[in-house]
Amino acid sequence: MKFNMRTYLSISFFVGLIFTSCTTDSDVMNSEELKVSNATAINPADLIGSWDLSKMLADSAVDLDKNGSSSTNLLDETTCFNTMSITFEEGGAFNSNNATMTFEGGESLDQFRCLDYRQDKGYWKVENNELVLMMLFDGDTITHRKPLDMTSNTFSFDVNRLESEQYVTDPGNTSASNIRILELEYTRR
């Protein structure tokens, strides 16, 4: 499968805060463990800053590097996604680093290969508890919304097979062909 930042741009938010009651100092929950819940509105200020891709979890294990060991975290299988990141600016602009890849590499033209990196830019906002990303791509404005899980230092979202087919060139017989859903997690720098 070919996953790039356009895949990433299919994001929106699950939001709010899950709290637990604490009776002793040892029971106090670390703020990184607080998850956003649907009960609280998203605060756009919580997204401002730079975020790096920290996990890319598939619903089935793959062996992209052909070393005989499979993993559900695609970051364990290739360095192709290591520079993926996004920066949300206070004025509503965003910049993202994206990876592009193909399954038409190698001598037999059926192996995973990282191609190039691309910068994408656009505008973001929070609307009805969703992150809305708008970007100009090939002369068209593309708008994406997607539920998002958020902690104080991470956010994640799912990309399903139907969404990824817009961006993925997979001939159907690759090690990643069985992937139906990916969860991408970004961590604050």
Above 80 in pLDDT, residue 2?
A: no
**Which pLDDT does position 27 carry in this prediction?**
35
The amino acid that residue 118 corresponds to is R
What DSSP string runs through 16-73? -------SSGGGPPPGGGPPP-TTS---GGGT-EEEEEEEEEEEEEE-TT-SS--EEE
pLDDT tier, 31 (very low <50, low <70, confident <90, very high otherwise) = very low
User: Tokens at residue 156, please?
Assistant: 């994640």
The secondary structure of residue 10, as a DSSP letter, is S
Contact 61, 71 (CB under 8 A): yes
User: Tokens at residue 94, please?
Assistant: 């965003």
Which of the given ranges, 18-27, 28-37, 49-58, 119-128, has the highest pLDDT on average?
A: 49-58
Q: How far out from the chain centre does Cα 111 lie?
A: 23
Q: How far out from the chain centre does Cα 165 lie?
A: 15
Average pLDDT of the segment spanning 175-181:
85
The secondary structure of residue 96, as a DSSP letter, is E
Residue 109 has, within 13 A of its CA and on its CB side, a CA count of: 2
Helix then strand then coil, % of the chain, to nearest 5: 10, 45, 45
Long-range contacts for 33-41 (Cβ within 8 Å, ≥24 apart)? Answer: 33/151, 34/151, 34/152, 35/149, 35/150, 35/151, 36/148, 36/149, 36/150, 36/151, 38/14, 38/129, 40/15, 40/16, 41/15, 41/16, 41/129
- Helix or strand or coil: residue 74? helix
Above 90 in pLDDT, residue 184?
A: yes
Q: What is the pLDDT of residues 34-92, one digit of tens each?
A: 444 444 567 889 999 999 999 999 999 999 888 999 999 999 999 999 999 999 999 99
pTM tops 0.85? no
Q: What is the pLDDT of residues 125-171, one digit of tens each?
A: 988 778 899 988 788 898 988 878 888 899 888 888 877 765 556 67
pLDDT tier, 116 (very low <50, low <70, confident <90, very high otherwise) = confident
pLDDT tier, 112 (very low <50, low <70, confident <90, very high otherwise) = confident
Q: Which residues pair with 121 in a beta bridge?
A: 95
